[in-house]
Amino acid sequence: MLPKYFALLFLIFAIVSAEEKDVLELTDGTFSSELDRLENTLVMFYAPWCGHCKRLKPEYAKAAEMLLGNDPPITLAKVDCTESGKETCNKYSVSGYPTLKIFAKSDFVSDYNGPREAAGIAKYMKAQVGPASKELTGESCLKSFLNSDEISVVGFFEKSDSSLAKTFHTVANKMKEKVRFAHTTSESLMKKEGYKNTIVLYRPKVLQNKFEPNTIQYDESMGDIQEFIAKNYFGIAGIRTRDNAGEFKNPLVVAYYAVDYVKNAKGTNYWRNRIIKVAKDFPKLHFAISSKDDFQHELNDFGIDFVKGDKPVILARNVKNQKFVMKDEFSMDTFEAFLKDFEAGALEPYLKSEPIPEDNSGNVKVAVARNFDEIVTNNGKDTLIEFYAPWCGHCKKLAPVFDELGEKLANEDVAIVKFDATANDVPTPYEVNGFPTLFWASKDSKDSPIKYEGGRELDDFIKYIAKHATNELKGFDRKGKPMKPKNDEL
């Protein structure tokens, strides 16, 4: 039994070691000396028990492997703040895990504020340590630069100090963390490529297709250089990841399936090309493909718990951020029909909502997505609404206070409302990024609610409501002090 046990332990250790073989382990004794022999290092300060660290480690290891052989060299390292690296972690004021910092030799450069997945880490670090735009001296340099799975932007300039060249470098400095830039003044290279005093966007081989050009040449009619890049960078259907998801604007149509350009580029492009073939006829819409595994949380927001089979699931959001689901199984015909209806505004939006309560007679009203307009927007009252999560400790603490508040104001022209923001779509214009989040919506301006930032005791709420109520409360003056009953007055 014991030999098998030790063999299993050895196998696990070997797998972990193999995963992190390209990540340098640093200690208090080796930190400065090791960094001094390296040009550029990203250091992860971690704790072995930290869940976020455990999730980051495999991505960090992949990024380290991706950066092998980079010019200039980039090393990924780690420091255990609970054991051999305690002093180093204290020196650099590490207070949470994981904390990542960038070093040149042993000199601290900056905190790392980039992506947390492998490709994003590698791309971010390349932008940090290298020039914003790589100089290409000849044909072989261009060929090597374009030998990448990423989109590249290359400037071809007769003179390095021309106004176009200067603007290009300014843009490269602004966008270097997201886009690969290179430039050349080589006459032979410009002659070979057929470009001079212009800028060209190159699509990598893996993303090339017959529905859009492999290269796009800039001209001034396309706006400024930054606008040109932003408009053309993703093509007809971009590869949407967790790190770049915010760059895709509504109206947006997303195809979710097994997107994997590392293990199955051919299969990934099989479906992407079908998306593009239909999407090219809808230039007013934006399109993307996304990994169904990486974006399961978005699928859940559209009421989809599991994606069966290989075919894409199509979800969309319009300019109002309303959600739409293509209910039919994917085919090019069903996809085209869905897009026509979506563009024409002929589809019913999907609304994530709990059932409308059968009994809503309590002093604290319950709003769900389906009855929000009735309970809040069109109730004709000033309204204090709490967006909560059932598991939130602060929300549980607030619940009895909110109940008492509802009772105190039961006869006032004010509604006290609660809304489970985990089980219902939060309506516009409310924005909820944490729990509990409270808003005050006066009866005459429900389209401009004000986030409540006051205290959370009963008196705090009463004082706030008494002050901000459209009409003075019956039971409290404007300062929140109880009004004396009229029959008690002398």
Which positions are catalytic? 50, 53, 392, 395
- Token pair 């919506």 is found at 441
Dist CA 78 CA 58 (whole Å) = 13
43: helix, coil or strand? strand
Quickly count helices (H) and strands (E) in the chain: 15, 20
Partners of 417 in beta bridges = 365, 385
184: helix, coil or strand? strand
Helix axes 458-468, 393-408, angle to 10 degrees: 60
Give burial (CB, 10 Å; 0-12/13-18/19+) of 156. buried
Dist CA 23 CA 28 (whole Å) = 16
> DSSP string of 92-157?
TT--SSSEEEEEETTEEEEE--S-SSHHHHHHHHHHHHS-SEEE--SHHHHHHHH-SSS-EEEEE-
CB 60, CB 76: distance < 8 Å: yes
Residue 298 to residues 5, 290, 370, Cα–Cα distance (Å): 41, 10, 20
At 192, the amino acid letter reads K
For residue 205, which phi and psi values (nearest 5 degrees)?
-55, -40
Residue 277 to residues 14, 207, 314, 459, Cα–Cα distance (Å): 46, 14, 15, 61
